[in-house]
């Protein structure tokens, strides 16, 4: 049902697309579609340097795609609820598509191999 899409803020939509127009950030969103993760998870699962992981997450946060919370030493990231109905629908489609992909599944497996999804180390 597309009735939820009642508005479209062009500026917000372009920011949304721009943030997702990068393979690394798409892979981050793919991992997050399986649940909450902290920065070190992205480093190991995607082979990113620590500053790079942090910055890509910052880009996604600026675009309103992810949000974070601190828990002790760690900062956990999760997909942010979308205020804009259009972005909400797009992100939903994206997340559902991420349930089936091979390459991205390798990322998830690399993540699970390194450590359980809850504990950091």
Q: Which residues sit at the interface with a second copy, rule CB under 8 A?
A: 2, 5-8, 10-11, 13-23, 25-27, 30, 86, 89-90, 93-94, 96-98, 100-101, 103-104
Stretch touching DNA by CB under 7 A, among 1-9, 49-57, 85-93, 94-102: 49-57
Task: Give the residue ranges of DSSP H helices in the chain.
Answer: 10-20, 23-32, 39-46, 50-62, 85-97, 102-114
* Chain length of the chain: 121
Site track for DNA across 5-34, x = CB under 7 A: -------------x---x-x----------
Report the distance separating Cα 86 and Cα 117, nearest Å.
Answer: 30
Report the distance separating Cα 28 and Cα 76, nearest Å.
Answer: 13
Residues in touch with DNA (CB under 7 A): 18, 22, 24, 38-40, 43, 48-59, 68, 70, 72-75, 120-121
């Amino acid at each position: 049902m597309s009735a939820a899409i009642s508005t479209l803020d062009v500026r917000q939509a372009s920011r949304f697309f721009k943030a997702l127009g990068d393979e690394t950030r798409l892979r981050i969103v793919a991992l997050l579609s399986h649940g909450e993760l902290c920065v070190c998870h992205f480093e190991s699962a995607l082979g990113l340097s620590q500053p790079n992981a942090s910055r890509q997450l910052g880009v996604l946060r600026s675009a309103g795609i992810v949000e974070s919370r601190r828990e002790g030493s760690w900062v956990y990231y999760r997909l942010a609820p979308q205020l804009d109905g259009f972005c909400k629908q797009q992100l939903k489609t994206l997340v559902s598509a991420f349930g089936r992909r091979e390459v991205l599944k390798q990322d998830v497996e690399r993540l699970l191999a390194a450590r359980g999804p809850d504990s950091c180390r």
